[in-house]
Structure 1
Amino acid sequence: MATYEYRCSDGSLFEETHPMGKAPDAVPCPSCGAPSRRLISAPHFSKAGSQAFRLIDATKRSAAEPDVVTSRLPGTPRRLQPYSSNPLHRKLPRP
């Protein structure tokens, strides 16, 4: 069964399922009963969603909205400052 999209003359959209290739060109609108014409629209191949599609969506989303990282990677050394901002440390001997 395929899902077909219809538009009523008042502009409301609704969907109906019919066997592939047997959908009528016009059906009565469920709200007002006026004849509604079938629309040509893009098919919905992956409405259920699989792991691969979730991964692709997450990758696209992370390009525009990256996750905030609050910690460093495990195993990376902590970077030490090469100097101190304390003025008393300037008096200490340097190696």
Structure 2
Amino acid sequence: MPLYEFKCQSCGVFEEWRSLSQSSDPAVCPTCQQPGKRVISAPAVNLSSSLSLRHPRSEPELVKRETEPKPQKFQHQSCGRPWMLNH
């Protein structure tokens, strides 16, 4: 069951575990028993410790593109027979 946040007009934000079918129903504040509206918030995400993540504020790596063209693997034949390479 997911954990949803609700907001009471007098007490503030509170959380409640609910099934998906009850997600849009108003919840009763545990302090003052008044109905509260659901607050849409960002989901909590837990990443596995086996993942290696960079520091979120690290600089991106600078990648330089080679300016000189690489030599071609095959030479073009001028004899008009492209299927005969290096013969």
C-alpha displacement at 1:28, in angstroms? Answer: 1.1
Q: Which residue of 2 aligns with 1:10?
A: 10
Whether 1:43 aligns to 2:43 is yes
CA–CA separation in structure 1 for the residues paired with 2:11 and 2:32: 11
Q: Report how many aligned residue pairs link the two structures.
A: 58
Q: Which runs of 4+ in 1 moved over 4 A?
A: none
C-alpha displacement at 1:22, in angstroms? Answer: 2.3
Is the helix fraction higher in 1 or 2? 1
User: Once superposed, what is the RMSD of the aligned Cα atoms?
Assistant: 2.3
CA contact (8 A) 2:7 2:38 kept: yes
CA–CA separation in structure 2 for the residues paired with 1:21 and 1:44: 20
Residue by residue, what CA displacement relative to the aligned partner does 1:2-56 show, whole Å, maximum 9, x if unpaired?
111000012511111111232243111111111111111122232xx4212xx43
CA–CA separation in structure 1 for the residues paired with 2:21 and 2:45: 17
| Structure 2 stretches lacking a partner, 5+ long | 59-87
TM-score of the aligned structures, taking structure 1 as reference length: 0.49
| Structure 1 stretches lacking a partner, 5+ long | 64-95
Q: Which residue of 2 aligns with 1:22?
A: 22
Q: Percent identity?
A: 33
TM-score of the aligned structures, taking structure 2 as reference length: 0.52
